[in-house]
Amino acid sequence: NAGVTQTPKFQVLKTGQSMTLQCAQDMNHNSMYWYRQDPGMGLRLIYYSASEGTTDKGEVPNGYNVSRLNKREFSLRLESAAPSQTSVYFCASSITRQGARETQYFGPGTRLLVL
């Protein structure tokens, strides 16, 4: 039981390049999330997926796209990377229960540097 896994662990991009961050969970969770972490700001939600086949914008979605490939996998794509997207990206998952606030389980993160 690996929990939430993310690839790659590190990535360096040039401005304008594209890339996809991968996330997978093996806990049979319905909901998945992408966050970014910047110094002094905690984590901010980029996109989330409440169930397979649905995605919605979070707090800071500009410059990103997501795909919920199946129940296990949720990818984050940067179409044209910018230096402002230098950050640490975390994927998380949780069960979905109407009206309840469920614990989110986090992956180890992807450190992205955009030059």
Partner 1 sequence: AQSVTQLDSHVSVSEGTPVLLRCNYSSSYSPSLFWYVQHPNKGLQLLLKYTSAATLVKGINGFEAEFKKSETSFHLTKPSAHMSDAAEYFCVVSGSGGYNKLIFGAGTRLAVHP
Under the rule (CB under 8 A), what is the footprint of partner 1?
4, 31, 40-45, 48, 50, 56, 90, 92, 94, 96, 101-109
Nearer to partner 1, 41 or 62 (CB): 41
DSSP 68-85: E-SSSBEEEEESS--GGG
CA distance 13 to 110: 13
Residues 93 and 29 sit within 8 Å (Cβ to Cβ): yes
Find the shortest distance in angstroms from Cβ 11 to partner 1.
Answer: 15
Nearer to partner 1, 14 or 103 (CB): 103
26 φψ region: left (φ > 0), alpha (ψ -120 to 50), beta (else): alpha
Nearer to partner 1, 1 or 103 (CB): 103
Question: What residues have CB less than 8 Å from 17, skipping those under 6 apart?
Answer: 80, 81
Nearer to partner 1, 9 or 14 (CB): 9
Find the shortest distance in angstroms from Cβ 54 to partner 1.
Answer: 10
Find the shortest distance in angstroms from Cβ 77 to partner 1.
Answer: 21
